Structure 1
């Protein structure tokens, strides 16, 4: 086995990025022109899963009221109803969230503040 040129002990890489807050956590933003990998927003995915689970619990009769379900889940009825509202999102927006293709403006905090009920108006209101 022959040795080539010696390997330097220190390698320096320059990677331009900036740190931004998104959904209460810090993320790196890549330079313009570089597409980030598709990665689902864990908080949004978890909230969607909870919303549809809670909706099934109410529709199946497992829980008779929102107050009963909230007590069982250990959350406030107000929080439960705001999360439950996520079941009203348009299917294409839900699919984009699950695939990690939603825009940076689509955050759980923004969705919890409300959005139009009509699917055709959601795209313009919240992006996606």
Structure 2
């Protein structure tokens, strides 16, 4: 069997992407218009779960104050109050996070920084 054309030794493939930092790790992001698999932000999902768990513990009367609960959990009271604000997100936003449909710009650090701003942002593409 003979070949009509020679096979090149090196093949170069161009794949456009950019690297973004999410939850303390680097992640590849596809360019605009490219189909992308939905990926849950585990850091954000974990924070949501903690927030709703802590809220339930406070509402049940298991702990009288946030400070008491924070001491038991071994975390700073100020951090706990910021995470508890996640329970104020609209249900559609919580659902988007759990489904991995929030925009790539939506991170735990950004959400904890200012919850009211999150409501106004256009990064909540619920497609």
Query: Which TM class, normalised by the smaller chain length?
Result: 0.7 to 0.9
- Number of paired residues? 120
* 1:30 to 2:26 alignment: no
RMSD: 2.4
Match of residue 19 from structure 2: 19
What TM-score do you get using the length of structure 2 for normalisation? 0.81
Instruction: Identify unmatched segments of 5+ residues in structure 1.
Output: none
CA contact (8 A) 2:40 2:97 kept: yes
CA distance, structure 2, for counterparts of residue 46 and residue 9 of structure 1: 47
Match of residue 39 from structure 1: 39
CA contact (8 A) 1:105 1:126 kept: no
CA-to-partner distance for each residue in 1:16-65, whole Å, 9 max, x for gaps? 32222223211112133212111110110000000000000000011111
Match of residue 120 from structure 2: 124
What TM-score do you get using the length of structure 1 for normalisation? 0.81
1:19–1:127 distance in 2 versus 1, CA, 3 Å: closer
CA distance, structure 1, for counterparts of residue 33 and residue 123 of structure 2: 20
Q: CA deviation at 1:126?
A: 6.5
* 1:70 to 2:70 alignment: yes
Instruction: Identify unmatched segments of 5+ residues in structure 2.
Output: none
